[in-house]
Amino acid sequence: MRLKVGDEVIVIAGSNKGSKGKITKTLRKENKVIVEGVNIVHKHQKPTGNNAGGIVDVAAPINASNVMIYDSKTKKPTRLGIKVDEKTGKKVRICKKSNEKLK
């Protein structure tokens, strides 16, 4: 999985199709990501200690195949590629549509 925490992504499949947000957590073993503001579910919590309990909205994981990186230059979803930087000799992630480096 080439996605990282902090990447801006667009959901391309499912009930939240077209939603945009940042990745807050990656679950590599399960091949899933948690995107803020997307795939919100209600979680019922019991009161514990300082917590009053009640119904809480939580972002649930989405399969990584259902999201694509958002290319800020073209304003569209794009695939990721990896190239070796000539100056540093390190691998960098690039957007396939605009050929621009990701942070």
Q: How confident is the model at residue 33 (pLDDT cuts 50, 70, 90)?
A: very high
**Would you say residue 1 has pLDDT above 90?**
no
3-class DSSP assignment, residue 28: coil
**Would you say residue 27 has pLDDT above 90?**
yes
Residue pointed to by tokens 């009930």: 15
**Would you say residue 87 has pLDDT above 80?**
yes
For range 53-78, the mean pLDDT: 95
**Would you say residue 56 has pLDDT above 80?**
yes
- Which tokens belong to 71? 């290319």
**Would you say residue 26 has pLDDT above 80?**
yes
Alpha helices, DSSP H, located in the chain? none
For range 43-60, the mean pLDDT: 94
What was the pLDDT predicted at 14?
Answer: 92
Domains of the chain, start order: 8-77 (2.30.30.30)
CA 12 vs CA 22, 42, 46, 62, 69: distances in Å:
14, 23, 35, 11, 10
What was the pLDDT predicted at 103?
Answer: 77
What average pLDDT does the chain have? 94
